[in-house]
Amino acid sequence: MYFTLLAIIAIIPFVLGVVILFHNRTPFFQVAISFLLLLAFWQLDLSILYGVELFEIEEAKRYFTFFRFGIIFNFPVVCYFMYILLTRYSKVSLFSKKVFLWPLRLVLIFSFMLSTAVYVLSNTALGVRGLEMYYPGKQYPNHYYPIFGDWQWLFVLNTSLTLFVAFTLIFFSIFLAVKEHRLFSLYLSITVFSVITIGLLSGYKILPLFVSGFSSILLTLIIFIGLIQNLTRGLKEQKNLLHKIMNLNPNYIYVKNEDHQYIIANEAMASLYDMDVEDLLNKTDLELNPRSVQAVKIEMEEKKVLLGIKPKYEKLDKIVDLRGQVKWVEVLKIPVTLEGKQLILCIGNDISQRKRDEEYFLKTEKMSVVGELAAGVAHEIRNPLTSLKGFVQFLGEDENLKHRNHLRVMAEEIDRINEVIDELLLIAKPQGKTFKKEKAAEILDDVVLLMEETAKAAHVQFSITADPELYIMCNKNHLKQVFMNLIKNSIEAMEFGGMMTIYCSLTADGYAQFILKDEGEGIEPDRIEKLGEPFFTTKERGTGLGLTVCYKIVKDEHRGKIQFQSELRKGTTVTILLPLDPIEEAKKRFI
C-alpha cells in the first residue's frame, strides 16, 4: 500500500515537469523542470524501500541505487540555477561583470563531476553495501533501509553542498529586479532546501521515510504556484505590450463582436468619442451616439461584413467626431473567426491632413492660374472697356435718345465688369512688401464710413467695439478691401436688415483679432469649406473673386488666418487673426 501510494506521489512532479517542458523552456523553467523530474525519481527511489512484498532485497537494492540519481544530481541543478540567477536576472552589478563568469562555470563543472562520481560510487559497495529490514514499530510500516559503505561521506558532502547553494540562492533571490522572478526564485530555492533537508532527516531515521514523499506534494504545489505566476506575468506582459503598440499607433484600431460592441480598442479610436478606452468597451456606436446617422451607417456596413456579403470592406469615409471635427479616414474592415465567434477587425487610417494638403495645393494652383489669367487679360479688357463706357456716357447726353434707360443699364454693367477687373488685378499683384504701423480702430472706422450709406439703404446698423490702442503693421488699403468685401457680403445676406457687430482686440498669444458677425441667412455647412476658392460664390450675381481676394490678402500677404462659422437663418461670424508684425511672423515660419 505504501509503495503504491508513494509511487503515485512520484508521478505528480513528473507529469508537471513534462507539461512545463512542452510549454516553456526559459532558463527559470528549465531549472524547475529539472528539479521536478529529479524529485519524481527520488520519490520513486523512496517508494522502492517500501516494496517489501514486491521486491527481494537484492532486486530492491539494484532499483534503489539506480534511482538514487534523483537526489544526487540536485547539486548541479542548483549550481546551474545560481549561474543563471547571477548572470541574467540579478540587479546587483557586481555579479553581472564578465570577470565572475569563469568561477561560476568552474563551480558548475565541479558540481556535475562530483555528482557523477557520487552516483557511480552509490552503485558499488563503497556507496551502498546493501539493504536490511527495518522495523520502526506498530505505528509505521516495515521497510528496507540502506547499509552505507565507507565512501558514504562523499554523498553527505554532495548533499551538504546542495543545501549550502540552495540556502545561498534564497539570499540572492532577494536582489532580483522583477517581482515575479523574485517570488519564483524564492519558491524554488526554499523548496529545494526543504526537500533535501527532509530527505536527510528521513535517511538518518529522524523522520519516517514516507514523510519525505508526502512533503514533496506540498512542495510541488509551491513550485506550481510560482510557475503559474510567471506564466501569468508573461501573458500580462504580452497583453500590455500589445496595448502599448495599439495605443502608440495613430490609426483607429478596434475589434467588435456580433452585437457590434467594442471588445478591443486603442486610444485613437476612443478619442473620436472623447472618452477613455475602458468607457468605450462593451458599447455600440448607437449607444454612444443614438441620434447619429453615421452610427446607423457604420452598423449596416458591419452587418454586411459579418454576414459575408462583403468579405472585406475597404472605403474612404468622411466622419464627424463628437467635437464636430471632420475627418477623412481610409477604413479597412475584415471578418475574423475566433473560437467559433464571428468578430470584425477594423483599421482606420486618418488621412485628414493629406486631404487638407491636397485641397491647399489645389487652391494654390487655382490661385496661380487666376493670377496668370488676371495679369494677361485684365489690362487687355480694361482699355476697350474704357472706350465703351465713354461712348455710353456720350450717347447718354443726348436728351432726345429714346433708349436712355438701356444706356443706364449698360453703364452699370460696365461698372460691374470694372469691379471684377479690379479684383482680378488685386489677385495678380505681387504681395505688398512695405507695411506701415496703423491703428486697427481707425481702419475699421474708415471702412464703416465708406459702407455707411450702403448699410442704411439695406436697414443695417453697425455696432463696433475696438481696442483704441491696438497697432498692427499692415497694408492699410488692402485690409480695407478685405473688410469692405466681408461687410458687403454681410449686408447682402441680411435681406430684411439687422445688426452688423464688429469686435477688435488683442489675443493672449499676441494676435490682432477681428470678429465680424451678421444676422443674415447663413451659409450651408458643405459650402463653408469651399469659401475662398476662385469663382465659387453663394450669390446669384456674384463673381466668386471677393473672398479669394480676402484670403490672399489675409493669409498670403499678412500671414494671418481667416475662419468662417455659420448657422442657417441665424447668421455668419468671420474671425480674422493677424500677427502684429507679418514680416517677423514670416521669419518665424521660415525658421
Question: Mean pLDDT across the chain, nearest whole number?
Answer: 78
Whether residue 514 is predicted with pLDDT greater than 80 in this model: the reply is yes
Residue in the block written with cell 493670377: 371
Task: Label residue 281 by pLDDT band (50, 70, 90).
Answer: confident
Q: Are 291 and 322 in contact (CB under 8 A)?
A: no
Task: Label residue 231 by pLDDT band (50, 70, 90).
Answer: low
Range picked from 19-33, 184-198, 447-461 for highest mean pLDDT: 447-461
Cα–Cα distance, 501 to 487 (Å, whole number): 10
Strands (E), 42-197: 128-134, 143-148
Q: Is 322 helix (H, G, I), strand (E, B) or coil?
A: coil
Q: Are 522 and 572 in contact (CB under 8 A)?
A: yes
Higher pLDDT pick, 113 / 322: 113
Residue 93 confidence (pLDDT): 45
In order of their start, the domains of the chain are: 2-242 (1.20.1070), 249-350 (3.30.450.20), 354-428 (1.10.287), 436-590 (3.30.565.10)
Residue 366 confidence (pLDDT): 66
With a CB cutoff of 8 Å and minimum separation 6, the contacts of 394 are none
Instruction: State the average pLDDT over residues 290-317.
Output: 75
Cell readout for 60 is 530492491
Helices of type H across 458-581: 476-493, 525-528, 546-551
With a CB cutoff of 8 Å and minimum separation 6, the contacts of 460 are 490, 491, 494, 497, 498, 499, 500
Q: Are 91 and 177 in contact (CB under 8 A)?
A: yes
Model confidence pTM above 0.85: no
Higher pLDDT pick, 512 / 259: 512
Q: Write out the H or E segment, with its range, that includes residue 7.
A: helix 2-21
Task: Label residue 428 by pLDDT band (50, 70, 90).
Answer: low
Whether residue 364 is predicted with pLDDT greater than 70 in this model: the reply is no
Instruction: State the average pLDDT over residues 74-99.
Output: 70
Measuring CA to CA, how many Å separate 128 from each of 3, 38, 118, 123, 124?
21, 20, 11, 7, 6
Query: How many Cβ atoms are within 10 Å of 288's Cβ, its own excluded?
Result: 16
Q: Are 328 and 316 in contact (CB under 8 A)?
A: yes
Residue in the block written with cell 555579479: 95
Higher pLDDT pick, 100 / 471: 471
Task: Label residue 99 by pLDDT band (50, 70, 90).
Answer: very low
Cα–Cα distance, 414 to 24 (Å, whole number): 89
Residue 471 confidence (pLDDT): 92
Task: Label residue 209 by pLDDT band (50, 70, 90).
Answer: low
Instruction: State the average pLDDT over residues 311-336.
Output: 75
Q: What is the DSSP letter of 85?
A: I
Residue 81 confidence (pLDDT): 86
Mode of pairing for the β-strands spanning 460-466 and 498-506: parallel
Residue 96 confidence (pLDDT): 47
In Å, how far from its chain's centre is CA 570? 41
Task: Label residue 585 by pLDDT band (50, 70, 90).
Answer: low
Whether residue 213 is predicted with pLDDT greater than 70 in this model: the reply is no
Instruction: State the average pLDDT over residues 308-312.
Output: 69
Cα–Cα distance, 324 to 303 (Å, whole number): 26
Whether residue 86 is predicted with pLDDT greater than 90 in this model: the reply is no
Helices of type H across 259-319: 267-272, 277-280, 285-288, 293-306
Quick one: which of 192, 197, 281 has its CA closest to 243?
A: 281
Whether residue 228 is predicted with pLDDT greater than 80 in this model: the reply is no
Task: Label residue 483 by pLDDT band (50, 70, 90).
Answer: very high
Residue 70 confidence (pLDDT): 84
Cα–Cα distance, 417 to 429 (Å, whole number): 18
Cell readout for 121 is 560510487
Residue in the block written with cell 479610436: 269
Cα–Cα distance, 471 to 449 (Å, whole number): 20
Task: Label residue 573 by pLDDT band (50, 70, 90).
Answer: very high
